[in-house]
Structure 1
Amino acid sequence: MKKILKKTSKLLSQKNLLKKVKSTAVIFSGKFVGIVCGLALNYIIATQYGTTAIGEYSLFLSFTNISSMLLLLGLNRSTLKNLPELKVKKLSPIPWLKGNLRLLLVSQFLFFIPVYLLILFNEDYFLRDHIEYFPIILIVAIFARTYKEFSLSSSRGFMKIWPYALGQGSMNVFVLCVLAIGLYLDNPIHPNKSIAIALLIDALVYGIYLILVVSHESKATPIDPNSQDKLALPKLKNILSESLPLYYTTLINFFTLQGGIYFLRYFHDLEEVSFYSMATRYAFIVNMIYMTVKGYTSPQLAKHKANGDIPALIDEAKKSTQLVLFVSIPLVLVLIISTPYLLLLHGEEFIKSYVPFLIITVGLVLKVFFGAGDNFLNMTGHNKDVKRINTISFILFVTLNLILNPLYSYNGAAIAFSSTIIVRHALCSLSIRRTYKYKIGYLSL
């Protein structure tokens, strides 16, 4: 503990900390608004639509998230890495973005029919009661989410902090507004329909914003005259060679974060899904700090790597880990004390979510101690190492869920989640130590 306090004190004395803290605070504010609105949504859904509605909402939202990640083909992550590199090399970003958008359209075209049929014949998996045009509603939500995520990542790749921050919570704000309007007019809108409407608004806003940013950056960024021959659209294989390694990582991360819901739905009923979902909602408030700093750091790491500045690269990663830990520990203590009372607001039955909340929180805190190793390895081009680690993690996650989920329900899902992320980040820290002879966290193998 003394070692942590000493390093924290050293961190706070750094001259360039103010800029990092300001940028992180801006992104955090967006995520915080999203979290607050998300908790308000949970309260409204639980009290106005019933316990199982939370399970339906969580399944719909989770399926939308994972499907949009499938469609993106890792383009959102490669954009975070490549736009800063293009800027360093004084190359125009327009060909890269056009090539990415073209690939995105192709993936959506190929995706439509198989997923439509999958949803159509398995509607009872998602819903207790039928919703008219449900498959179309879900696919519209997925497509909208895909474009919103790509636009958001592009904005961050251009080092735009405020739009990225606002995008962290915009969907929950729009969903809350749609639900509130429906309730006010005495014409309640199903939560799943409200997600689709909110995502359409979100996609439209950020799609327009991306066009404006690209136009501005194209004029503001000095382009090397010798690079004009590189303005042609990049080849498909070149885009995929950058995005697919990151794609695999993104899918594994998303499935680890949200896969427990699918196992619970398969082995149990929607109420069990609701209890687990509520536990993750509160536990992931801790993860919000980690993801906030990660969102700021990713393009910085890519920039240092492109410049060949290894000391700055390691320093950036270490300071980010310290900053996350410095903020996370007090937040965890507050959450452990307050969460039981907050859960009871949704209904007495939701106190069952407290034990899985504690299990998940332990895993998330230990992850912070190891540092953001997966992000570090991805942003510095060590994709093969990440792929091996994620394969091990995925096998472990599925195995633990198949064993623990039928026996211990939402508690088993929580144990599977925490065990997997601890193992994954421990292996990432080992890989970094072997490659760079440094550790970026407080724990390392």
Structure 2
Amino acid sequence: MKAYYPQILSMGARVFVSFIGLLLSYYIVNLYGQALVGQYFLLLSFSILLSQIFLFGMGPKLNILSSEEVNLIKLLLEILKKTIISFFLVCILSIFIVKVFLKFPMSIFYLIIPSVLLGCILIISELLKGSGRYLVSQLYMGAISNLIFILLLYLYSRYNGVINNIEFIVSCWIVALIISLMSCIIVFIKGYKYEKDNMHSFAIKLKDLWPIFLSSVGIYCFSQIDLWLISTSFDPELIAQYGLAVKLTMILSISTLSVRALAASQIPNYYLKDKNLLQSEISKGCTFSLLISLIGVLLIALFGNTLIDHFFGMDYSQTLNILLIFSVGQLANSTTGACDLLLSHTGHQRDIFKITFLSFLILMLTLSILLIFEIDKIEFFAICVSLTILFQNLLVTYVAFLRTSIVSLPFGGSFKRERLS
């Protein structure tokens, strides 16, 4: 048990973050009607996409520079240069999203502002990870802002009644993000150790960012494209159920996200120094995440229907079927752990981009076939997503082994030894 202490500690933070996210989903589902819930899940999905665009693929580089304790002022200036470009991209894409996907009246600023704030929190969180404070980083990746968001919604509804308006919900969210971002910046700056006269030469080069940027955005689009396409063809009530299933899938990703947060700081530190130690840590992470996810799937299969009916109501009866299908893809994520980080954090970003692009094309092709033939069973969309995730993770794991000699699988060290013997 002691060998898995870092993973358990990291998962504890993820459990807390996921619990707060589920609490927020529960509160919004029970406070508002299905149509407004569908709008919220759709807007949240696009905001996270735009926040990834704002991050601009800097995650791995920020992890590394923060771990090297480079000069803070110079680091922030480098980040500012890149976010000027990414902010322009966010604005352009926001116009497209509002025109094509958001079929409800809403100012574009209610999409841009939370997306940029989320992006800023992502940047500081990546810096926190690199400096070894991965637990604090995970708390700011969702728990802090969501707690404040819940509090604001509760206080307003208690004293002023419920306002069934998406712009009001987003306004509360923006206030919560601003408070969270300010505290996140303070925590990072206070704990960041560096020599003020350390002017070690470094630069965040665009040519290094593009593969990671395109891959990270592609991976997120890959995970959300089904929801976006469904929003153009299905009723808001069904969109709400599908969106809820996507949120509930986060329960199964708790262990995977925890070991990924840990691996983000382990890979830069161990890859060049001690590959055997890195292999051991990666394999332990995969074993840990798989076991926890298997327990989660079993609990959902046994008690999922009862829990969904109790907490979200009979109107969300189709959510369980979609959730169980998503479980297959999530088990693939759990089994392969931080396979993509082995490539992104060791200079093989282009491989991730190629695999992500191929997987995205396969997913788009299968989803398009469903739409062309007007398949009205929403479960088929979830099946396409899960099977494509399985294919993608296995391919990334194989390529990561070819490039790094690290096997991102449970008991990967034993597998590698058998292969080499």
- Alpha carbons of structure 1 residues 99 and 39: separation in structure 2 relative to 1, 3 Å: same
* Percent of pairs with identical residues: 17
Deviation per residue, 1:81-130 (Å, 9 max, x gap): 4322x24xxx4344223211232134324543x346435645xx4255x3
> How do residues 338-353 of structure 1 correspond to structure 2 at under 5 angstroms?
338-345=303-310, 346-353=312-319
> SS where residue 171 of structure 1 aligns?
helix
Residue number in structure 2 paired with 1:96? 75
Q: Distance in 1 between matches of 2:318 and 2:98?
A: 32
> How do residues 156-167 of structure 1 correspond to structure 2 at under 5 angstroms?
156-167=129-140
> How do residues 259-278 of structure 1 correspond to structure 2 at under 5 angstroms?
259-278=225-244
More displaced 10-residue stretch of structure 1: 351-360 or 432-441: 432-441
Q: Tell me how far 1:39 sits from its aligned partner.
A: 3.4
Q: Distance in 2 between matches of 1:333 and 1:19?
A: 25
Query: Is the counterpart of residue 202 in structure 1 residue 177 in structure 2?
Result: yes
Q: Is the 8 A contact 1:178 1:194 kept in 2?
A: no
Query: Is the counterpart of residue 337 in structure 1 residue 297 in structure 2?
Result: no
- Alpha carbons of structure 1 residues 120 and 21: separation in structure 2 relative to 1, 3 Å: closer
Residue number in structure 1 paired with 2:102? 126
Residue number in structure 2 paired with 1:169? 143
Residue number in structure 2 paired with 1:440? 408
More displaced 10-residue stretch of structure 1: 313-322 or 74-83: 74-83
Query: Is the counterpart of residue 36 in structure 1 residue 12 in structure 2?
Result: no
Q: 1:384 aligns with which of 350, 355, 360?
A: 350
Q: Tell me how far 1:264 sits from its aligned partner.
A: 0.3
Q: Is the 8 A contact 2:121 2:184 kept in 1?
A: no
Residue number in structure 2 paired with 1:368? 334
Q: 2:53 aligns with which of 70, 84, 91?
A: 70
Residue number in structure 2 paired with 1:149? 122
Q: Is the 8 A contact 2:332 2:390 kept in 1?
A: yes
Q: Distance in 2 between matches of 1:119 and 1:441?
A: 37
Q: 2:265 aligns with which of 281, 290, 299?
A: 299
Q: Distance in 2 between matches of 1:119 and 1:386?
A: 26
Q: Distance in 2 between matches of 1:420 and 1:365?
A: 13
* C-alpha RMSD over aligned residues: 2.7
Q: Which amino acid aligns with 2:18?
A: F
Residue number in structure 2 paired with 1:8? none
Deviation per residue, 1:137-174 (Å, 9 max, x gap): 22221221111221222222221234223213223222
Q: Which amino acid aligns with 2:231?
A: R
Q: TM-score, normalised by structure 1?
A: 0.83
> SS where residue 407 of structure 1 aligns?
coil
> How do residues 303-314 of structure 1 correspond to structure 2 at under 5 angstroms?
303-305=269-271, 307-314=272-279
> SS where residue 27 of structure 1 aligns?
helix
Q: Is the 8 A contact 1:80 1:156 kept in 2?
A: yes
Q: Tell me how far 1:267 sits from its aligned partner.
A: 2.4
Deviation per residue, 1:411-431 (Å, 9 max, x gap): 122112101110011101211
Q: Distance in 2 between matches of 1:343 and 1:33?
A: 15
Q: Is the 8 A contact 2:7 2:258 kept in 1?
A: no
Deviation per residue, 1:265-292 (Å, 9 max, x gap): 1222322211211222222210122112
Q: Tell me how far 1:191 sits from its aligned partner.
A: 4.8
Q: Tell me how far 1:320 sits from its aligned partner.
A: 0.7
Query: Is the counterpart of residue 407 in structure 1 residue 386 in structure 2?
Result: no
Q: Distance in 1 between matches of 2:3 and 2:269?
A: 17
- Alpha carbons of structure 1 residues 161 and 348: separation in structure 2 relative to 1, 3 Å: same
- Alpha carbons of structure 1 residues 203 and 243: separation in structure 2 relative to 1, 3 Å: farther
- Alpha carbons of structure 1 residues 439 and 229: separation in structure 2 relative to 1, 3 Å: closer
Q: Tell me how far 1:324 sits from its aligned partner.
A: 0.8
Q: TM-score, normalised by structure 2?
A: 0.87
Q: Distance in 1 between matches of 2:200 and 2:138?
A: 35
Q: Tell me how far 1:196 sits from its aligned partner.
A: 4.1
Residue number in structure 2 paired with 1:9? none
Q: Is the 8 A contact 1:31 1:292 kept in 2?
A: no
Q: Which amino acid aligns with 2:76?
A: L
Q: Distance in 2 between matches of 1:193 and 1:81?
A: 39
Q: Tell me how far 1:63 sits from its aligned partner.
A: 0.9
Q: Which amino acid aligns with 1:423?
A: F
Q: Distance in 2 between matches of 1:354 and 1:161?
A: 32
Q: Tell me how far 1:58 sits from its aligned partner.
A: 0.8
Residue number in structure 2 paired with 1:59? 42
Query: Is the counterpart of residue 193 in structure 1 residue 168 in structure 2?
Result: yes
Q: Tell me how far 1:201 sits from its aligned partner.
A: 3.1
Residue number in structure 1 paired with 2:285? 320
Residue number in structure 2 paired with 1:4? none
Q: Distance in 2 between matches of 1:211 and 1:76?
A: 20
Q: Distance in 2 between matches of 1:292 and 1:164?
A: 11
Q: Which amino acid aligns with 2:205?
A: I
Q: Gapped runs of 5+ residues in structure 1?
A: 1-11
Residue number in structure 2 paired with 1:358? 324
Q: Gapped runs of 5+ residues in structure 2?
A: none
Q: Is the 8 A contact 1:66 1:251 kept in 2?
A: yes
Query: Is the counterpart of residue 393 in structure 1 residue 359 in structure 2?
Result: yes
Q: Distance in 2 between matches of 1:39 and 1:117?
A: 27
- Alpha carbons of structure 1 residues 386 and 370: separation in structure 2 relative to 1, 3 Å: same
> SS where residue 205 of structure 2 aligns?
helix
Q: Distance in 2 between matches of 1:120 and 1:441?
A: 41
Residue number in structure 2 paired with 1:6? none
- Alpha carbons of structure 1 residues 269 and 81: separation in structure 2 relative to 1, 3 Å: farther
Q: Is the 8 A contact 2:263 2:338 kept in 1?
A: no
> SS where residue 161 of structure 2 aligns?
coil
More displaced 10-residue stretch of structure 1: 273-282 or 155-164: 155-164
